[in-house]
């Protein structure tokens, strides 16, 4: 739009300039037509001219005729109070145009030299006409005002129209983007909305990608599960065989077998969490906690533990369901194991995270143990079987989902585990 | 007490069977889910130990199907998959406890005993009646603080009677719960066991712990003491 404006502006200016020059030429021709030699062979021009602007003082058009040695032969009425710095350059028979200016005004002028034959020889007379540029400038100013005004108006309308078209045109893409956010937040599993047919190849491909990564994850986990199964049964058999022997190395063998088992277990669980997709769905917290509690109540039936459960049913966490089970299974199992009679679970939605507090009335955790538990990346084989592994797993899961764990002392007497995830 | 083990790995199956037999249980085994389900449905077991990864019918399915037809014996799950989701699934299906492979035999035994006691509504390993005290962990019986010398079968009989107090137990039922399926049974042996037990438990005939109901069976007649420690029956 600006380019168009500039081109039009330049074109118009040239045009006006050309028109002005044409006008100056015409003035010269008119002066030439009225000039004639008198009896004394001096050039004479009538004082009153055909062009009215030349006859008014302080007008915008000025003219004079001089001799080759700068003697004024004739000048128009309009020259009376105006001093115009005409240029001296001329060529006989040619129009020479100049831009000249005084302190206040600027002019376009033309010089034309003509030769008159006299008895004595020939005399050269220079015809000079100047026109105030204001005329030209005001025309250009008016044109520019109109031009840029219109161009700005048209540009604005075009931009508005273009924005509307873009908005309308990009609506399906925005729809896709919104659906993708839903998937990211775990509210949807795939792109299920209605999209224009131009976008269906894209959405189909995205869905395929989502499905295939889900399937891959499932296959990966199944493979790991099967591997765990196939490794652990032989370990159990070996353990049984070693148990029935009476060799003096029995304990060493059992210990080594225990270490192998811990490593297998830890690495398998770790591998299962590392491969986790970021596009996992949000899992409702309450059903998971409730199921784990039911399980633990059954296992620790003799303890008859009194559970205080306060988890709002609308809390969902963007953590894979299996990981959520692992996280709270391990934490709650410890709480049940160590508690005397009471376990309390409270969950609360914070602005971005969910805070879950698990407390029990057991013996609590001493300071050294607290530090040990919080120490990340601890090797599984250094842990006591069945105890450290679970907590190492808790740490791994929290690390993966950028969660936090804090261990405090509960008012109930035992440990107070605060999870933010 | 008679147990059923469903485990597809032959070595582990045999080990478990031998170990638990040595601990005084009658142990039947099945090598796949279908056979295991059938045995659990047809024979009167006191408890089942079920591996989850089984051919033909998975452990979870076996448990669900048993619970659907109101089979109530306690079930201990053996699983190689230590994942919590699996544990929850197993216990939701109707199992009572789980043990992750590999495990120590002692742990298995402790869980087995705990589950058997729990299903009988007994919370402590030692059950006391007047001067008679039965330690289910050590499988020993003391009368007035002196330990009785009992054969394995005599202990099995007294344990079964004690675990089912106030209930009339026929000779057939006793036979079914102390012998394995393919054992050559003779119900007259039961009478012999009961006779010998009476003499050992109550030499002067003052307590009469085992009552005979003619044509019906036997009943353990003593009331447990320390009843405040007893949890409700499951």
B215: left (phi over 0), alpha (psi -120 to 50) or beta: left
CA distance B197 to chain A (A): 31
Contact B84 A304 (CB under 8 A): no
Please determine, for residue B134, whether its predicted confidence score (pLDDT) is greater than 70.
yes
Residue A203: the pLDDT is 84
Please determine, for residue B176, whether its predicted confidence score (pLDDT) is greater than 90.
no
Which residues of chain B lie closer than 8 angstroms to A291, CB-CB? Answer: 88, 92
A320-358 per-position pLDDT tens digit:
888 888 888 888 888 888 888 888 999 888 888 889 998
- A157 burial (CB, 10 Å; 0-12 / 13-18 / 19+) is exposed
pTM given for the model: 0.62
Higher pLDDT, A381 or A292: A292
Residue A274: the pLDDT is 53
CA distance A169 to chain B (A): 46
A103 touches chain B (CB under 8 A): no
Residue A381: the pLDDT is 37
Closest CA relative to residue A183, chosen from A275, A281, A277, A278: A281
Contact A236 B101 (CB under 8 A): yes
Of all residues in chain B, the one with the smallest CA distance to A257 is B102
Confidence of residue B180 (pLDDT cuts 50, 70, 90): confident
Which residues of chain B lie closer than 8 angstroms to A301, CB-CB? Answer: 96, 118, 231, 234
Contact A232 B98 (CB under 8 A): no
Q: What is the mean pLDDT of chain B?
A: 84
Q: Which two tokens stand for residue A404?
A: 């936090």
Residue A226: the pLDDT is 72
The stretch A33-59 carries a mean pLDDT of 83
How far is the C-alpha of A384 from the C-alpha of B88, rounded, in Å?
24
Please determine, for residue A379, whether its predicted confidence score (pLDDT) is greater than 50.
no
Q: Out of A374-383, B31-40, B42-51, which region has the weakest mean confidence (pLDDT)?
A: A374-383
The stretch B178-196 carries a mean pLDDT of 79
The stretch B146-167 carries a mean pLDDT of 85
* Chain A stretch 324-343, residues whose beta carbon is closer than 8 A to a beta carbon of chain B: 325-326, 328-330
Please determine, for residue A234, whether its predicted confidence score (pLDDT) is greater than 80.
yes
Chain B residues bordering chain A (beta-carbon distance below 8 Å): 9, 11-12, 15-16, 19, 53, 80-85, 87-88, 91-92, 96-98, 100-105, 114, 118, 123, 231, 234
Between A and B, how many residue pairs show a Cβ–Cβ distance under 8 A? 94
Q: What is the mean pLDDT of chain A?
A: 82
Higher pLDDT, A377 or A154: A154
A158-191 per-position pLDDT tens digit:
999 999 999 998 888 888 888 888 877 767 777 7
- The C-alpha angle with vertex A216 and arms to A389 and B57, in degrees rounded to 5, equals 75
> How far are the Cα atoms of A175, B124, B216 from residue A200, in angstroms, in the given order?
12, 67, 77
Long-range contacts, A43-52 (Cβ 8 Å, 24+): A43/A73, A43/A74, A43/A116, A43/A123, A43/A125, A44/A74, A45/A73, A45/A74, A47/A77, A48/A77, A49/A76, A49/A77, A51/A27
Please determine, for residue A276, whether its predicted confidence score (pLDDT) is greater than 70.
no
């Amino acid at each position: 739009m600006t380019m168009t404006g500039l081109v039009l502006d330049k074109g118009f200016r040239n045009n006006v300039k050309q028109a002005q020059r044409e006008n100056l030429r015409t003035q010269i021709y008119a002066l030439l037509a009225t000039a004639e030699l008198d009896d004394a062979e001096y050039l004479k021009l009538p004082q009153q001219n055909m062009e009215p602007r030349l006859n008014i003082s302080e007008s915008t058009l000025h003219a004079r005729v001089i001799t080759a040695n700068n003697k004024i032969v004739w000048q128009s009425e309009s020259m009376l109070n105006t001093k115009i710095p005409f240029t001296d350059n001329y060529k006989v028979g040619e129009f020479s145009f100049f831009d000249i200016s005084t302190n206040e005004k600027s002019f376009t002028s033309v010089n034309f030299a003509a030769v008159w034959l006299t008895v004595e020889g020939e005399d050269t007379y220079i015809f000079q006409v100047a026109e105030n540029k204001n005329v030209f400038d005001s025309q250009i100013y008016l044109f520019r005002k109109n031009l840029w005004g219109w161009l700005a108006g048209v540009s604005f309308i075009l931009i508005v129209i273009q924005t509307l078209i873009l908005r309308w045109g990009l609506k399906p893409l925005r729809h896709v983007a919104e659906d993708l956010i839903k998937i990211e937040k775990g509210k949807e599993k795939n792109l299920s909305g209605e999209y224009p047919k131009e976008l269906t190849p894209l959405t189909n491909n995205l869905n395929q990608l989502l499905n295939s990564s889900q399937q891959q994850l499932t296959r990966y986990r199944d493979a790991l599960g099967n591997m765990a199964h196939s490794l652990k049964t032989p370990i159990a058999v070996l353990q049984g065989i070693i148990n029935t022997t009476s060799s003096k190395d029995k304990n060493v063998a059992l210990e080594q077998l225990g270490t192998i088992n811990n490593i297998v277990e830890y690495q398998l669980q770790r591998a299962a969490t590392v491969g986790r997709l970021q596009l996992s769905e949000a899992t409702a917290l309450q059903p998971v906690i409730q199921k784990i509690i039911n399980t633990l109540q059954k296992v620790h039936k003799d303890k008859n533990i009194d559970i205080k459960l306060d988890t709002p049913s609308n809390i969902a966490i963007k953590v894979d369901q299996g990981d959520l089970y692992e996280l709270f299974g391990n934490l709650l199992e410890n709480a049940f194991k160590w508690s005397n009679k009471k376990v309390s679970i409270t969950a609360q939605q914070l602005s971005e995270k969910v805070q879950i507090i698990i407390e029990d009335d057991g013996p609590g955790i001493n300071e050294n143990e607290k530090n040990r538990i919080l120490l990340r990346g601890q090797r599984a084989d250094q842990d006591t079987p069945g105890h450290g592994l679970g907590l190492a797993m808790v740490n791994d899961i929290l690390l993966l989902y950028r969660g936090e764990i804090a261990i405090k002392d509960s008012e109930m007497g035992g440990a107070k585990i605060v999870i933010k995830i | 007490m008679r147990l059923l083990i469903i485990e597809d790995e032959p070595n582990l199956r045999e080990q478990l069977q031998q170990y638990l037999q040595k601990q005084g249980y009658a142990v039947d085994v099945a090598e796949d889910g279908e056979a295991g389900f059938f045995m659990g449905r047809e024979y009167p077991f006191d408890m089942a130990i079920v591996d989850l990864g089984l051919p033909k019918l998975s452990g979870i399915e076996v448990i669900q199907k048993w619970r659907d037809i109101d089979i109530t014996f306690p079930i201990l799950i053996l699983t190689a998959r230590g994942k919590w989701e699996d544990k929850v699934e197993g216990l939701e299906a109707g199992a009572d406890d789980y043990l992750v492979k590999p495990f120590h035999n002692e742990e298995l035994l402790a869980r087995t005993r705990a589950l058997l006691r729990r299903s009988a509504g007994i919370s402590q390993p030692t059950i006391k009646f007047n001067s008679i005290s039965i330690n289910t962990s050590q499988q020993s019986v003391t009368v007035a603080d002196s330990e009785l010398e009992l054969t394995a079968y005599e202990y099995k009989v007294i344990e079964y009677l004690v675990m089912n107090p106030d209930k009339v137990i026929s000779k057939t039922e006793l036979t079914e719960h102390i012998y394995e399926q393919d054992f050559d049974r003779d119900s007259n042996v039961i009478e012999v066991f009961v006779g010998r037990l009476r003499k050992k438990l109550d030499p002067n005939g003052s307590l009469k712990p085992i009552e005979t109901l003619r044509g019906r069976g036997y009943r353990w007649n003593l009331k447990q003491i320390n009843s405040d420690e007893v949890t409700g029956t499951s």
